[in-house]
Chain A
């Protein structure tokens, strides 16, 4: 694709740096890696941008700066990447839970004023270990058996018997557990109790019965086909622990709109090469106590068995017509979308689908907003598959890491378990001149970008009162809507189950997304908080799944383990306007939206404020097109700066051309895809990229 000329251009960015780490600090580089922090090498003392926190927005900012040649230092006090956007293995999540139950240690306020020069002032950041501000109401319930099941002879019992027995055993469990529950809420020590549950204490409810099939030696492979097996195996708690690394459990639950800003950025920047993605395969909704599939593509609509012929025609007509703005729509501006839909004479079925599952808005959302969401949904449809969404294999926590990798590839320096204690502010200019890191090193920088969690509440200016998100994570033993394939990735919209209840967004992930062990599903629930996460979401869980608290739900998938927590909603926070030096920018934590628009927009605006002339995340060169300094064809070694400037114009031009071509190609492909429809995508899905055979 790239022309010959581009070889020289790409090679420009390939130069060797030996400025860092060449000092005394590096005398024994080998001892540094896993030794106590104090023995680590010193960091360089000057950067263009220092970034604290590795959430999505911060990581995108890091990649963007590094990519255009800025010297970036990116640190996080945690031992893992992605902050509140992280994903954890099962065991990792238990550790995270544990941390949120611990009392946060009062910070040791060290006096760094000796590092100050005249006219400077210190601003202390908050580095408390637990993010008590952003995460609250953590509650864990385990409904698996504590014991590893004993080997039994394979039992030919028909499933019905097994189910009856299971049901019986669990009814006993219900009693016990509900007692525990009520006690918990009264005593106000829910946290401790639930933690005990998580740790495998005696609160756990055994739900296995004799009629079950024994544990096979390789549960991993055979369990994946459990759908086709007559008897379901119950998965025990020790098994979850043992297979814990097969889980990648996200703290946030989002999907990637196939024409959303994140996907566009991943493609534009070539960061997409670090991750793999799966299509969300179906959109479901919960209506009249049943889980139903929402027809959204043309093929779906025609294949739907729930819709009458008249409804199909109406729906198709509506979906086609709403893509264009009409005077009729404008007449409804300011009035609820529901009213608009009502007047389209669509009927209850279609109205619900359109409101809750396609526009994904509430009953009082204004028409213009509802139409915008509907159009966005429809535009994203059919780019990659049958639904508008993609999901990254191994979970959403991969995405910030991918941007961090891009930053590192272009020279950014990474340091986890490392923080910034305070900022050095020049009183006269109100600018941050330097930061003092957790080891007392003064590092000068021109700009400082920080995750909001590190900034004390007294310095934040909140436009709106802090809202919060309610989250639940379930590990279940079956899909909420079993189908031919047991490897479906489902987006489920749950309209408010009663007046005053929040609308819940649910994502069910199968094991091929590499987020849960074979034989299980990982279910994420999210809503805007009304009460605590447990209060908001457990009614939905109890209705849609089988738990010891639910009744008559034997046909629903069983919850093996679940976690509830509240997370601060980052959508209300601005990057600027806080009581901070003028060159300090704040990134908010995850917001409640389904897509990633908020974080990407924030990252781009921070970048553009600092470097208005530069391109935001231009494509990284393709490794196959790079010519290295050792090759005689180019002379990228030495004098990089000059050369870089010389060719910069050329590079820019080239990149523009590339983009143009890319765009054209994409468009062509889209047309093709739209023609080929779903069949083509399925075929592609079966192919593998990395393990081509």
Chain B
């Protein structure tokens, strides 16, 4: 197998209520556009963007929920082997904030222990409709030891920062893990994807 063209590969998973702007965040970051209209994107599993951080190439694989969050029916396998989770709510929608504890329960149940979680309040371009005060969200994030960031996928505010900060944090953790690499418990990802096993992926 040829060497891949990156130094790090991270799987980032988005969660949060329907309509908070998860897909918009991903598309803003990976494609630099804000898709008009609300529609589910068909046939897209995850998006990929390779960024360079301090001279190291980091490939980010960003997974979206495929609409399964709408009826609270996300498959557990979606959370498996994620390196980072972006928990998103809509600052103009109190309910999307109130559902966060439920999401955290799911994370605790299915995601791996070392997963990096960041809380994102999206839609700050709609400041006049804000229902969740920044301070409240910050307090909540701190209590749950999550990072916190407010974004606007529409205006492209903090979107780049969101993913780059995450990438930095993941690199930091990866290096840390390498440092005190003492044969810790098997990490997710220890298994192999079939395509990797069989070398017949279409890559």
B43 and A410 contact, CB distance less than 8 A: yes
B interface, by DSSP: helix, strand, loop or mixed? loop
A498 close to B (CB within 8 Å): no
B128 close to A (CB within 8 Å): no
Chain A's closest residue to B62 (CB) is: A623
B156 close to A (CB within 8 Å): no
Q: Write out the residue numbers on chain A whose beta carbons fall within 8 Å of the beta carbon of B202.
A: 1-2, 270, 619, 622, 625, 658, 662
- Report the minimum CB–CB distance from A257 to chain B (whole Å): 13
A276 to B82, CA, bound (A): 13
B69 and A398 contact, CB distance less than 8 A: no
**CB contact under 8 A between A81 and B75, given known A33-B99, A628-B31:** yes
User: 9 other contacts beyond A30-B95, A34-B72, A415-B71, with CB at 8 A cut-off?
Assistant: A1-B202, A16-B40, A28-B95, A267-B198, A276-B188, A413-B67, A621-B43, A624-B48, A666-B200
A692 close to B (CB within 8 Å): yes
A267 to B199, CA, bound (A): 11
Which stretch, B14-22, B136-144, B157-165, touches the partner chain A?
A: B14-22
A273 to B66, CA, bound (A): 15
9 A/B residue pairs, CB under 8 Å, sorted by A: A16-B42, A276-B190, A276-B191, A384-B197, A405-B78, A414-B70, A514-B191, A628-B27, A691-B189
Chain B's closest residue to A26 (CB) is: B19
Specify which of B45, B70, B197, B201 lies most central, judged by the most chain A CB atoms within 10 Å of its CB. B197
Q: Write out the residue numbers on chain B whose beta carbons fall within 8 Å of the beta carbon of A21.
A: 18, 70
B39 and A30 contact, CB distance less than 8 A: no
- Report the minimum CB–CB distance from A652 to chain B (whole Å): 16
B2 close to A (CB within 8 Å): no
List residues of B (22-50) whose CB comes within 8 Å of A's CBs.
27, 31, 33, 35, 37-48
Find A16's partner among B37, B77, B185 (CB 8 Å cutoff).
B37
B37 and A30 contact, CB distance less than 8 A: no
- Report the minimum CB–CB distance from B199 to chain A (whole Å): 5
B43 and A34 contact, CB distance less than 8 A: no
A31 close to B (CB within 8 Å): yes
Find A404's partner among B75, B185, B200 (CB 8 Å cutoff).
B75
A666 and B198 contact, CB distance less than 8 A: yes
Residue numbers of B with Cβ under 8 A of A are: 4, 8-9, 11, 17-20, 27, 31, 33, 35, 37-48, 61, 66-73, 75-78, 80-81, 83, 90, 93-96, 99, 102, 108-110, 174, 177-178, 182-203
A666 to B200, CA, bound (A): 6
A26 to B17, CA, bound (A): 13
A626 to B43, CA, bound (A): 9
A693 and B18 contact, CB distance less than 8 A: no
Q: Write out the residue numbers on chain A whose beta carbons fall within 8 Å of the beta carbon of B44.
A: 14, 409, 623, 626, 628
A402 to B177, CA, bound (A): 29
B102 and A690 contact, CB distance less than 8 A: no
- Report the minimum CB–CB distance from B37 to chain A (whole Å): 5
A435 to B48, CA, bound (A): 40
A692 and B66 contact, CB distance less than 8 A: no
Which stretch, A113-121, A155-163, A217-225, A304-312, touches the partner chain B?
A: A217-225
**CB contact under 8 A between A690 and B81, given known A14-B44, A28-B95, A511-B185:** yes
B199 and A669 contact, CB distance less than 8 A: yes
- Report the minimum CB–CB distance from B111 to chain A (whole Å): 10
Q: Write out the residue numbers on chain B whose beta carbons fall within 8 Å of the beta carbon of A123.
A: none
Q: Write out the residue numbers on chain B whose beta carbons fall within 8 Å of the beta carbon of A417.
A: 72
Find B39's partner among A16, A26, A692, A693 (CB 8 Å cutoff).
A16
A17 close to B (CB within 8 Å): yes
Chain B's closest residue to A276 (CB) is: B191
A29 close to B (CB within 8 Å): yes
**Per-residue 0/1 for A615-647: is the Cβ within 8 Å of any B Cβ (1 yes, 0 no)?**
000011111111010110000000000000000
Find B45's partner among A33, A273, A393, A418 (CB 8 Å cutoff).
A273
Specify which of B31, B71, B203 lies most central, judged by the most chain A CB atoms within 10 Å of its CB. B71
- Report the minimum CB–CB distance from A656 to chain B (whole Å): 13
- Report the minimum CB–CB distance from A449 to chain B (whole Å): 17
B194 and A401 contact, CB distance less than 8 A: no
Q: Write out the residue numbers on chain B whose beta carbons fall within 8 Å of the beta carbon of A687.
A: 192
A691 and B187 contact, CB distance less than 8 A: yes
**Per-residue 0/1 for A393-423: is the Cβ within 8 Å of any B Cβ (1 yes, 0 no)?**
1100110011011001111011111100000
Find B77's partner among A402, A626, A665 (CB 8 Å cutoff).
A402
**Per-residue 0/1 for A95-129: is the Cβ within 8 Å of any B Cβ (1 yes, 0 no)?**
00000000000000000000000000000000000
A630 and B189 contact, CB distance less than 8 A: no
Specify which of A13, A18, A394, A397 lies most central, judged by the most chain B CB atoms within 10 Å of its CB. A394
A623 and B31 contact, CB distance less than 8 A: no
- Report the minimum CB–CB distance from B69 to chain A (whole Å): 7
Residue numbers of A with Cβ under 8 A of B are: 1-2, 13-18, 20-22, 26, 28-34, 40-41, 81, 89, 220-221, 224-225, 245, 263, 266-267, 270, 272-278, 383-384, 390, 392-394, 397-398, 401-402, 404-405, 408-411, 413-418, 487, 511-514, 518, 619-626, 628, 630-631, 658, 662-663, 665-666, 669, 684-685, 687-693
B40 and A17 contact, CB distance less than 8 A: yes
Q: Write out the residue numbers on chain A whose beta carbons fall within 8 Å of the beta carbon of B76.
A: 81, 394, 397-398, 401
Would you list the 9 A-B pairs with minimal beta carbon distance, nearest first? Answer: A690-B189, A276-B191, A393-B191, A30-B95, A18-B39, A408-B66, A272-B194, A401-B75, A29-B19
- Report the minimum CB–CB distance from B96 to chain A (whole Å): 4
B35 and A393 contact, CB distance less than 8 A: no
- Report the minimum CB–CB distance from A663 to chain B (whole Å): 8
B185 and A224 contact, CB distance less than 8 A: yes
- Report the minimum CB–CB distance from B174 to chain A (whole Å): 6
A431 to B61, CA, bound (A): 45
Specify which of B48, B93, B195, B202 lies most central, judged by the most chain A CB atoms within 10 Å of its CB. B202
Q: Write out the residue numbers on chain A whose beta carbons fall within 8 Å of the beta carbon of B201.
A: 1, 622
A14 and B191 contact, CB distance less than 8 A: no
A620 and B33 contact, CB distance less than 8 A: no
A13 to B96, CA, bound (A): 31
Q: Write out the residue numbers on chain B whose beta carbons fall within 8 Å of the beta carbon of A40.
A: 71
Q: Write out the residue numbers on chain A whose beta carbons fall within 8 Å of the beta carbon of B184.
A: 221
**CB contact under 8 A between A684 and B192, given known A224-B183, A623-B45, A692-B9:** yes
A293 to B185, CA, bound (A): 27
Q: Write out the residue numbers on chain A whose beta carbons fall within 8 Å of the beta carbon of B189.
A: 276, 688-691
B80 and A277 contact, CB distance less than 8 A: no
- Report the minimum CB–CB distance from B177 to chain A (whole Å): 8
A263 to B4, CA, bound (A): 25
**CB contact under 8 A between A276 and B192, given known A14-B42, A14-B44, A15-B42:** yes
B69 and A33 contact, CB distance less than 8 A: yes
A409 and B66 contact, CB distance less than 8 A: yes
**CB contact under 8 A between A277 and B99, given known A401-B76, A623-B46:** no
A270 to B33, CA, bound (A): 28
Q: Write out the residue numbers on chain A whose beta carbons fall within 8 Å of the beta carbon of B108.
A: 245
A220 to B47, CA, bound (A): 34
Q: Write out the residue numbers on chain B whose beta carbons fall within 8 Å of the beta carbon of A266.
A: 194
Chain A's closest residue to B109 (CB) is: A245
Find A630's partner among B31, B69, B95 (CB 8 Å cutoff).
B31
B75 and A405 contact, CB distance less than 8 A: yes
Find B17's partner among A30, A622, A692 (CB 8 Å cutoff).
A30
